Amino acid sequence: MPESPLPCSVHNIPTEVRRIARYLFPRFLHTPTLEEQGKSVRALGRLRHPASVAELAKIAQHPDKYLRLLVVESLATTALPEAIPVLRIFLADADIDVRGAAMRALVIIERPTPDGYFSTGGSSR
């Protein structure tokens, strides 16, 4: 079995997601169509892993608004604290829809929970 490009700390990620990641990471921006890139972006968000955030950050300046919106949505899906600095980059995006999506994502990730903590790990307390 080929070695996964993901860090070793992903043993808690389901096998199906690890299989997807092994496929996506090497091919991330080398896909021929915007539709394929969008599928990659969505799958990376579903991984909910810091390595996904790093890959998504690489395309924060992509010229296509649709893909930037998908990146913001995928970062929100991760609900990881590592996504916060990347989402803040999108607050200065040229497109108002991307800026709005970034603001909503930040509110969701940084919202305080009833016990006074911030919900930045994606888990309920």
Domain residue ranges in the chain: 15-110
User: Can you list the pairs that 105-112 forms with residues at least 24 positions away whose Cβ atoms lie under 8 Å?
Assistant: 105/72, 105/73, 105/75, 105/76, 108/76, 108/79, 109/76, 109/79, 109/80, 109/81, 109/83, 109/84, 110/84
pTM: 0.68
pLDDT in tens, the chain (125 residues): 444 444 434 444 556 666 666 666 555 555 567 888 888 889 888 888 888 888 889 888 889 999 999 999 999 998 899 999 999 999 999 999 999 999 999 998 887 666 545 555 444 43
What pLDDT, on the 0 to 100 scale, is given for residue 40?
83
What pLDDT, on the 0 to 100 scale, is given for residue 66?
93
What pLDDT, on the 0 to 100 scale, is given for residue 122?
46
Over residues 82-107, the pLDDT tens digits come to: 999 999 999 999 999 999 999 999 99
Averaged pLDDT of the chain = 77
What CATH class does 15-110 carry?
Answer: mainly alpha
What pLDDT, on the 0 to 100 scale, is given for residue 34?
81
